[in-house]
Structure 1
Amino acid sequence: MDFESVPTATNHLVSGSNPYAAEVQFLRSAYSVTSAWPGSPGGGAGSGLFFRDPTVYGSGTRGAMLMWGDDDGQGNTSLVFNVAGGFSAQFSMLYGALVASGTVQVFDGLDGQGQLLGGRDISGTAPCIDPKTGALLSDFVCNWGKAEINFSGTAHSVRIFGSNAAFFLDDVQLGQAGGGTLPEPGSMALSLAALGLMAWRARSRKP
């Protein structure tokens, strides 16, 4: 899930547009946002104070997910999403924040419940420097860490807990690279068409 196809500005993934609805259900504290950085894909037309320097990360980013919801009184919230079909072996994502702390947990049950299969801590990333001028950007997030969890069993939900309205999350991968990742919207139809063509070719070769 790379959130590149989300609407401009800010979108509630729970009650608004969810391009991954066929596979993933967001339960709370999940907003998709597009970048406000002028040099980002899409020209910085959004409201999200983040970007990625393509010379460092290989590509820029237009969209990301912001963990933002009901505060527990100590400045924290929980973002939870379900994967009804399940995924196995690995969970990974990119994250960026100015000053923040949190945890990522993978469960075998829905709604962030059941057996805990794996987890890890996440925290604030390095201060952001303007790639053009070298000046410190005190509001923007542009340095990204990678959170990876390897586990046994089949996971059906993910819970991210931590500093409210601080973490930007991106490139969420469910399962190992090359097997088990969610297809981007539109790619499922292309995959089905390719499979149909392969089946037709196989039939046509039979005597």
Structure 2
Amino acid sequence: MKKLLLTGLFSLAFLTSGIANASLIVLDFEGLDDQEAINGFYNGGTSANGNSGVNYGVEFSSNTLSIIDTEAGGTGNFGGEPSEDTVMFFLTGTSSIMNVAAGFDVGFSFFYSAINNAGSVQVFDGLDGSGTLLASLAIPITISDGGDPSGDFSPFFDIGVGFAGTAKSVSFAGVQNQIAFDNITFGSVNAGGSTDVPEPSTIAIFALGIMGLVSRRFKKKS
């Protein structure tokens, strides 16, 4: 049975591991509840349940949800997230949109886990996925190693893309309940702003994830 998470123009992608740089904006989704719409949590407003975070001028489409690791009392079938214990995902539609009205440049990066289905990310110079496409990034399938200690969507890998111009929105596309994101980073091709050099073995790990794949869901059924 397939397990769930609850429970064209291509730019160069970078696979790395990183540590947060204070000069960058990093969204770690901590402070949000399990399975709530993020909405204006990072935009001077609130999430669906009334939670508020730092005002970075970032707004998410209404189908974009937060989810908490089962080991922390949530319903998320994941582990090995870069910042405990909350990540981003979606349960409806084929994509999630993130708007940054003030814009950002240089690069965009994040950690993710997608053990069954590949995804993609597109960066645009207009809001709501409009305007000129600045970058398009294919998101490969990742391995599942059992998590910490039981999440199937684990570990999380970081990936990023550089571009020219000023971006104002990002589309995260994939199969609903099959891909999770964390530590979304603006202004760097390395998630968290790391300057580490990618290791060739990282790419090989993704290849292993396709072999002998057992379908799983990100959100655990209750």
TM-score, normalization by structure 2: 0.64
Name which structure has the greater RCO, CA cutoff 8 Å, separation 6+.
2
Whichever residue aligns with residue 48 of structure 1, its letter is G
Gap change, CA 1:80 and 1:18, over 3 Å in 2: farther
1:26-75 residue CA offsets vs partner (Å, 9 max, x unmatched): 124310111112xxxxxx2111111217xxxxx652110012213xxxxx
- Distance of 1:33 and 1:64 partners within structure 2: 6
More strand by share: 1
Gap change, CA 1:113 and 1:36, over 3 Å in 2: same
- Distance of 2:87 and 2:184 partners within structure 1: 10
- Distance of 2:113 and 2:28 partners within structure 1: 14
The correspondence for 1:63, drawn from 64, 70, 86, is 86
Which residue in 2 is equivalent to 1:174?
186
How do 1:115-194 residues align onto structure 2 when only pairs under 5 Å count?
115-129=132-146, 140-176=152-188
TM-score, normalization by structure 1: 0.68
Cα offset for 1:113? 0.9
Contact 1:94/1:171, CA 8 A, preserved across alignment: yes
For structure 1, the residue ranges without an aligned partner over 5 or more in a row are 38-43, 54-58, 71-76, 182-207
The total of aligned residue pairs comes to: 157
- Distance of 1:115 and 1:93 partners within structure 2: 22
The correspondence for 1:100, drawn from 88, 107, 117, is 117
SS at match of 1:147: strand
Whose Rg is larger?
1
**2:6 matched to 1:6?**
no
For structure 2, the residue ranges without an aligned partner over 5 or more in a row are 1-26, 40-46, 194-222
- Distance of 1:117 and 1:45 partners within structure 2: 39
- Distance of 1:60 and 1:175 partners within structure 2: 19
The correspondence for 1:86, drawn from 97, 103, 108, is 103
Seq. identity, %: 30
